[in-house]
Amino acid sequence: MSPVRHDDAHSTSRGHDHADGGHCGHHHPPVFAGMDPGYRRALWLVIALNAGLFVVEMSAGALAGSRALQADALDFLADSLTYALSLWAIGKPAAWRARTALLKGASLLALALWVLGSTIWTAFHLGVPRPEVMGVVGVLALAANLASVLLLLRWQEGDANVRSAWLCSRNDAIGNVAVLLAAAGVWGSATGWPDVAVAGGMALLFLNSAWQILARARRELVTARI
């Protein structure tokens, strides 16, 4: 369970007052909505890590000819924007936090569709990426993402806005492990198919996370309007 602080109860009361009123006195504990200075500091650190890794991975992806690296780089960029939106939404009414989460879910869905489309295109124009570049950059990105996951771990269960930040960090860590596997596969097979397979798998992961974020945000938006 994530820690629930007293200031969170105030920040989430608007989104829960009406929902609880229709349950004959049954009250649900407030959901963590980001009202914690430690959470804000963690988000700033994660934004810096993600923005820096976007530049590194996009450059390395172009150098190595790796679609998986480029997909992961775009995920870093999307995550930087997601974390920035998460910061902006802290302290806002429940309806605005839910709308922010909807925007983040929609952007992740768009990213997933782009990666999926570019992966299909690459399958018909297959080259052989440079596995050594993929491996080195993959290790660096994995270290940064593990740091992000640890920074946000205690706040993984919150409202849709907070939950989306955690899912982005988790996706990145999984994606980096997949890039390392792709690098090993490219090196072992001397073909680009492992890179294409990993990029496709990452697109499906993004689609799943986008669905989770959008579904939860829609439920919270309905609750906030009742």
What tens digit of pLDDT does each residue of 168-207 get? 777 778 777 888 888 888 888 888 888 888 888 878 878 8
pLDDT at residue 29 above 60?
no
What pLDDT score was predicted for residue 7?
41
User: Among the listed ranges 134-138, 164-168, 192-196, which one has the minimum average pLDDT value?
Assistant: 164-168
DSSP string, 60-127: HHHHHT-HHHHHHHHHHHHHHHHHHHHHHHTTS-HHHHHHHHHHHHHHHHHHHHHHHHHHHHHHTS--
pLDDT at residue 214 above 60?
yes
- pLDDT tens-digit map of 65-81: 887 788 778 878 877 88
User: Distance between CA atoms of 203 and 222, rounded to whole angstroms?
Assistant: 29
What pLDDT score was predicted for residue 18?
38
Find out if CATH 1.10.3210 is the number for domain 6-225: no
Per the structure block, which two tokens stand in for 115? 């990666």
**11 — pLDDT class (breaks 50, 70, 90):** very low
Which of the pair, 28 or 158, is modelled with greater confidence? 158
What pLDDT score was predicted for residue 77?
83
Closest to 163 (Cα-Cα) out of 177, 151, 174, 153 = 153
State the average pLDDT over residues 127-141: 85
Which of the pair, 27 or 140, is modelled with greater confidence? 140
Give CA 49 to chain center in angstroms: 13
Looking at residue 35, its amino acid is M
User: Distance between CA atoms of 217 and 207, rounded to whole angstroms?
Assistant: 15
What pLDDT score was predicted for residue 99?
83
Closest to 212 (Cα-Cα) out of 100, 108, 113 = 108
User: Distance between CA atoms of 173 and 180, rounded to whole angstroms?
Assistant: 11
Residue spans per domain, the chain: 6-225
- pLDDT tens-digit map of 73-130: 887 887 788 788 878 877 778 788 788 878 878 888 888 888 888 778 877 766 778 8
Contact 32, 158 (CB under 8 A): yes
What pLDDT score was predicted for residue 32?
60
Per the structure block, which two tokens stand in for 208? 């799943």
